[in-house]
Structure 1
């Protein structure tokens, strides 16, 4: 699992998936907890398998807001936004205000600009997450210009630049997969 995460952080998404699959071969019980595998599947455009991975994750942890959102992102690519929203995974209440608002934005077709505005003066991680998820929301709507704007903002934020958070790496991988320059 650590090797898969390291490869993903380095931008080797296919290599990361191979390592996550190897971890499952070694211990099949791990599959329901490998949300990182679902992210790799998303960036390899293997949306059906990604959605399945995130559904397994939510079944094992019914309070996991982010896995519900990522399942939506995969299913929006497969079925379109309206159908993905009908299939949206309900989860428990996330204790993090940024993730509660993000979850509601995806579930209820909210306003990503409002999300970013709400958290623009908060903690560094909140601005990062609001920008990242605003960009991902726009991508699900096929508004790639707005998606690029927000995800680049997440990458260039102080948290995005300095944090060792897996999601900060994900934002950079996202840009790499879309051929968006960070400079």
Structure 2
């Protein structure tokens, strides 16, 4: 997960159909008396129950509505960008009602819950997401921030969600900062002369580190710097951040 993906919905990955389903024929589940009749001589209605049960097993249930769920996720992200955070949560929750599988990938919902001060629910959402994607540095950090606001930095660090190695140097350093403690100013200084995106993320996560510690003025300074940076301005105006 990256904050620069905020306008792109996280849609649950398409699942490969298990081999055991590819070997099932609808005819095998019907009453044996039908096996002596040519399939084309039978009404298709006779096969609907067995076909439906196979489809439900593959897709996760007959009550899911993935297209409407994805539309709800998109609406939720748009509402978040417009400042209607409560409205965004309502849409994300609606997406889950429409298709329960969405919950395992809705890191956007975790962000909204955090900004509504619903830290326990936010932490739960990020932990669910990391269980599906154990290499997501940013979700691990956001879980820490939620739990730090609930229990304090020391407790949050003891239950820190460890994830795989991030390919981005700036995020590896941010991850180590939150996991082990340290100086957020060093994080920013180390990437002052780096790529524009690196300075953005260094400033953002330095600010969020201060926020987790309850140092609001320091947090405001660095988060404002991130948003005002060339990378932040460019991507915000184009609808990416």
Please confirm whether the aligned pair reaches a TM-score higher than 0.5, indicating the same fold: yes
C-alpha separation in 1, matches of 2:240 and 2:146: 17
Note the C-alpha offset of 1:166. 7.5
Displacement of 1:125 in angstroms is 1.0
Distance 1:131 1:166, change over 3 A: farther
Alignment of structure 1 residues 75-90 onto 2, 5 Å: 75-90=147-162
In structure 2, the partner of 1:179 is none
Aligned: 1:57 with 2:129: yes
What is the CA–CA distance in structure 2 between the aligned matches of 1:126 and 1:58, rounded to whole Å?
23
2:101 is matched with which residue?
29
2:89 corresponds in structure 1 to: 17
| Closer/same/farther in 2, CA of residues 97 and 59 from structure 1, 3 Å limit | same
**Structure 1 length normalisation: TM-score?**
0.89
List structure 1 runs of 4+ shifted beyond 2 angstroms. Answer: 164-168
**Residue in 2 that maps onto 1:44:** 116
Residue 146 (structure 1) aligned to one of 213, 218, 225: 218
Q: SS state of the match for residue 178, structure 2?
A: helix
* Greater per-residue helix proportion: 1
Counterpart residue number, 1:100: 172
The equivalent of 2:186 in structure 1 is 114
Q: How far apart, in 2, do the equivalents of 1:45 and 1:22 lie? A: 20
Using structure 2 for the length normalisation, give the TM-score: 0.68
For residue 199 of structure 2, what is the aligned residue in structure 1? Answer: 127
SS in 2 for 1:163: helix
Provide Cα deviations, 1:65-116, integer angstroms capped at 9, x if missing partner. 0000000000001111100000100000011111111000000112111110
Shift in CA distance, 167/100, structure 1 to aligned 2, threshold 3 Å: farther
Query: Residues 69 and 166 (structure 1 numbering): CA distance in 2 closer, same or farther, change over 3 Å?
Result: farther
Gaps of 5+ in 2: 1-72
CA distance in 1, matches of 2:145, 2:96: 23
- Spell out, residue by residue over 1:2-31, the C-alpha distance to the aligned partner (whole angstroms, 9 max, x if none): 111111111111111111111111110010
Is residue 2 of structure 1 aligned with residue 70 of structure 2? no
Q: Taking structure 1 as reference, are residues 76 and 166 closer, same or farther at Cα in structure 2, changes over 3 Å only?
A: farther
Aligned length: 168
Distance 2:239 2:103 in 1: 18
Structure possessing the higher radius of gyration over alpha carbons? 2
> Measured at CA, do residues 167 and 62 of structure 1 come closer, stay the same or move farther in structure 2, by a change above 3 Å?
farther
User: Over aligned residue pairs, what C-alpha RMSD do you find?
Assistant: 1.3
Q: d(CA) in 1 for partners of 2:75 and 2:170?
A: 29
